[in-house]
Amino acid sequence: MNIFDILGPVMVGPSSSHTAGAVRIGYITRSLLGSRPVMADIGLAGSFAATGKGHGTDKALIAGLLGMKPDDMRIPRSFEIADEEGLSFSFHEIRLAGAHPNTALLNVKGVDGKCLEVQASSLGGGRIMVNQLNSLAVNCTGEKPTLIVYHQDRPGHVTNVTAMLAEPGINIAALNLYREKKGGDAVMIIEVDQDVPADIIRRMEVREGIRKVIYIEGEKT
Amino acid sequence: MAYQSLKEITRLCEEEGIPFWRAVLQDDVNERSVSEDESFAAMGKMWETMLSSSENYDPSLMSGSGLVGMDGAKMEEYRKRGDVLVGDFVGKVITQALQMGESNACMKRIVAAPTAGACGVLPAVLVPLYKENAGKGEGTKARAINRERIIEALYVAAGIGQVIAARAFIAGAQGGCQAEVGSASSMAAGALVYLKGGDNEQIVHAAAMAMKNLLGLVCDPVAGLVEVPCVKRNVIGAVNALAAADMALAGIKSRIPPDQVIDAMKEVGESMHVSLRETGEGGVANTPYARELAREIHGKG
């Protein structure tokens, strides 16, 4: 933990796990979707379901989906703002066997019609972990700048992508590969130490075998 | 690598002839690859936020559950009548602790220190001290209480908190309220000693005494919410920090070495029953009335 995990974060109360963490889950889901969400169906599990309402977890998740950060004073009014901005939403309780006590399952639809299912947990102190992207089990915190590269499971794609990062001196902190089945759809989740310029992401996206690239900016103190 | 003991910090300070806060700043500079100015500016932002949170208290606001709110305003009114048992300054500290805890429960912007539930402790002692001394410019440089020295004191607090997080924990779910308000009180005590011109030994002994006094404090939030008894526990964290700092400044030491006190907090937290670690199942959360409130708030049995 760095000293700003101890003194900080600056956040809207009342709970770092149930409020600040929930905002971050909503925010990262919006980033992963890659467009403005217009519909969200959210399942709350465990302690999110039990005490979430009193902690504003529902308002916090919606605030994040609207692009707010944990210190945004508009969080308590997020439901009204969602109405104004054309985001319809619903909540329900779910059971997720084996999941972290503070977990949400978000089914979202973007303004471009694309849909995404994200399962994420709030780990405490405002830190989060994305556990599932559609049907793929993943691990992604969004604390560092992160690239999510959707590609075909074929030789050479990892080399191509890492070479494109190495060229401008971007250092990889962690790289994880996930695939549905051999030769099928796959995802690289790459956490890096430096910001990734937009032109690299554009060039990456048009490479053969790469379907889509999502970039998440890291947390800034 | 973050410091693993308070001893490590005080030893480094002695070897390099630097103050406690600078040892913590240097570590942040290394850890996050930032400049000293960037680090100092980030800490400055934490202080500005504490001040603005204090200014933005709304005396008419109640939390969503209706359990907390408006008590900070009551305390302020009472203090202004000029007959507070603990004196005017401590009256201000109590007021600030209540107001910050209530602001947090009412979804206003705060600085988690070290957690949102314990966010009132540090500002409760620092904001009144700063306001009473603002613009006075009295005393020697080593004891002046201005923006720069408050930020330095926040580094002292953060360094103590970091060691507690490394050796024990700072989450109620892991170690009970002693890990949240206890840690906050320990951090605040060290910060106060620094501001009053105490040396490094006095800083760590104040932190140890503040922690010891709150060992065993359980986390028993009614209806699982960061409201009852959390808001008022910020008061005891703050007042306890003042007492521990004054003892240390008087030359009183913790008989048990400070790092070992932190280890004791960990042991006590680990042996605490799970019902007393933020589950809302034990302590005041398990009283018949609290159970009734929980049913009303959550709309189920």
Asked if residue B277 belongs to a domain, the reply is: yes
Asked if residue B270 belongs to a domain, the reply is: yes
CA B128 to each of CA A143, B96, B202, B204, B255: distance values in angstroms, whole numbers, following the listed order: 35, 8, 22, 23, 30
Asked if residue B221 belongs to a domain, the reply is: yes
Q: Is B44 on the interface with A (CB under 8 A)?
A: no
- The residue-averaged pLDDT of A179-207 equals 93
Chain B, window 70-99: residues with a beta carbon less than 8 angstroms from a chain A beta carbon: none
Asked if residue B31 belongs to a domain, the reply is: yes
Strands A88-93 and A37-45: parallel
Give residue ranges of A with CB < 8 Å to any B CB: 1-16, 19-20, 47, 50-51, 53-56, 59, 71, 73, 75-76, 124-126, 221
Rounded to the nearest 10 degrees, what angle do helices B183-195 and B147-167 cross at?
140
Nearest to B46 among A7, A53, A76 (CB): A7
Nearest to B111 among A10, A75, A125 (CB): A10
Minimum CA–CA partner of A3 in chain B = B158
Asked if residue B199 belongs to a domain, the reply is: yes
Sort out which chain B residues have CB atoms less than 8 A from A55's CB and list them.
Answer: 225-226
Quote the CA–CA distance of B253 and B250 in Å, as a whole number. Answer: 9
- The residue-averaged pLDDT of A163-192 equals 93
What pLDDT band is residue A221 in, cutting at 50, 70 and 90? low
Rounded-to-10 torsion of CA B45, B50, B52, B56? 150
In 3D, which of B292, B281, B268, B181 has the Cα closest to residue B230?
B181
pLDDT in tens, A5-57: 999 999 999 999 899 999 999 999 999 999 999 999 999 998 898 888 888 99
Nearest to B115 among A16, A56, A71 (CB): A16
pLDDT in tens, B195-209: 999 999 999 999 999
In 3D, which of B170, B250, B235, B248 has the Cα closest to residue B205?
B248
Residue of A2, A5, A7 to mutate, testing the B interface (most B Cβ within 10 Å of its Cβ):
A7
pLDDT in tens, A59-99: 999 999 999 999 999 999 999 999 999 999 999 999 998 88
Minimum CA–CA partner of B159 in chain A = A3
B222 half-sphere exposure, CB direction, 13 A CA radius: 23
Q: Which stretches in chain B have pLDDT values below 50? A: 301
The domain in which residue B15 lies consists of 6-298
Number of domains in chain B: 1
Asked if residue B1 belongs to a domain, the reply is: no
Confidence (pLDDT) at A89: 98
Nearest to B116 among A15, A73, A75 (CB): A15
Q: Is B62 on the interface with A (CB under 8 A)?
A: no
Cross-chain Cβ contact B109/A11 below 8 Å = yes
Sort out which chain A residues have CB atoms less than 8 A from B107's CB and list them.
Answer: 12-14, 19, 56, 59, 75-76
Asked if residue B198 belongs to a domain, the reply is: yes
Confidence (pLDDT) at A124: 80
User: Phi-psi category of B94—alpha, beta or left, where left has phi over 0 and alpha has psi -120 to 50?
Assistant: alpha
Nearest to A8 among B27, B46, B171 (CB): B46
pLDDT in tens, A150-177: 999 999 999 999 999 999 999 999 999 9
> Concatenated DSSP letters for B270-297?
HHS-GGGBSSSSSGGGGSHHHHHHHHHH
Confidence (pLDDT) at B27: 96
Asked if residue B24 belongs to a domain, the reply is: yes
Confidence (pLDDT) at B298: 83
Helix (H/G/I), strand (E/B), else coil: A130: strand
Q: What percent of chain A has pLDDT over 90?
A: 79
Q: Is B295 on the interface with A (CB under 8 A)?
A: no
